[in-house]
């Protein structure tokens, strides 16, 4: 029974998360030969203010690119 945790930044629509869950499930089923109903996926969303690369918060590095896409 595969259990997958996917960590992504907040701001993706429910539809995009549905597409992601379907694609990951299909890949696991194809790769492991398991049944889709045995695949569990946990999507863990985090705030961009809690993510840093190279000592700089992601929200500061890409504030214009992502700020408007955030879905509450």
Active-site residue (options: 1, 2, 23, 33): 2
Q: Are 61 and 9 spatial neighbours (Cβ–Cβ below 8 Å)?
A: no
Place of tokens 């690119």: 65
C-alpha 43/C-alpha 24 separation (Å) is: 11
Q: Is 36 marked active-site?
A: no
Catalytically annotated residues: 2
């Amino acid at each position: 029974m595969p259990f997958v945790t996917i960590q992504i930044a907040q701001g993706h629509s429910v539809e995009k998360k549905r597409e992601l869950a379907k694609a990951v499930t299909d890949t696991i089923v194809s790769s492991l030969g398991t049944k889709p109903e045995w695949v569990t996926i946990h999507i863990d969303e985090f705030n961009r203010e809690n993510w840093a690369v190279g000592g700089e918060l992601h929200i500061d590095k890409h504030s214009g690119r992502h700020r408007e896409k955030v879905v509450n």
